[in-house]
Amino acid sequence: MKTEIDFPDPVIEAIAQKVVESLRPLLVRKQDATDAFLTVDQLAEYLGIGKQRVYDAVSKNKIPYFKVGKLLRFRKSAIDKWIESQSVPVAPPRFRHLGIVK
């Protein structure tokens, strides 16, 4: 949103410009946290596992990753989708169909 106002007084215009400059960083949309990039250390902490398990998952192509040069990086949104795909569905109680468990 851009608004142009004609200020008759240069002092008021200068104040308005200072206010705009001060607010600009707050108005600029920050990178969405779901699009953050994680390092191996950050991913291990996020998943609550050791770094070696992250490296093992990468070497077996079991987890989504990409490389920046030689460095491994993980998109948080892709990791969250991967976690959802790994979820085990809740099984219904046994023997419900026999009328033993209600």
How many CB atoms within 10 Å of residue 65? 19
Q: Tell me the pLDDT tens digit for each residue of 57-77.
A: 999 999 999 999 999 999 999
Token digits for 68?
A: 């920046």
Q: What is the structure's pLDDT at 45? A: 97
Residue 13 is predicted with a pLDDT of: 78
28 or 48, higher pLDDT: 48
**Section 13-35 average pLDDT:** 70
User: Domain ranges in the chain?
Assistant: 33-85
Q: Helices (DSSP H) in the chain: which residue ranges? A: 10-27, 40-47, 51-59, 76-86
Cα–Cα dist 79/36, whole Å: 10
What's residue 24's pLDDT? 72
Kindly indicate whether the domain formed by 33-85 is annotated with CATH number 1.10.10: yes
pLDDT in tens, 34-60: 579 999 999 999 999 999 999 999 999
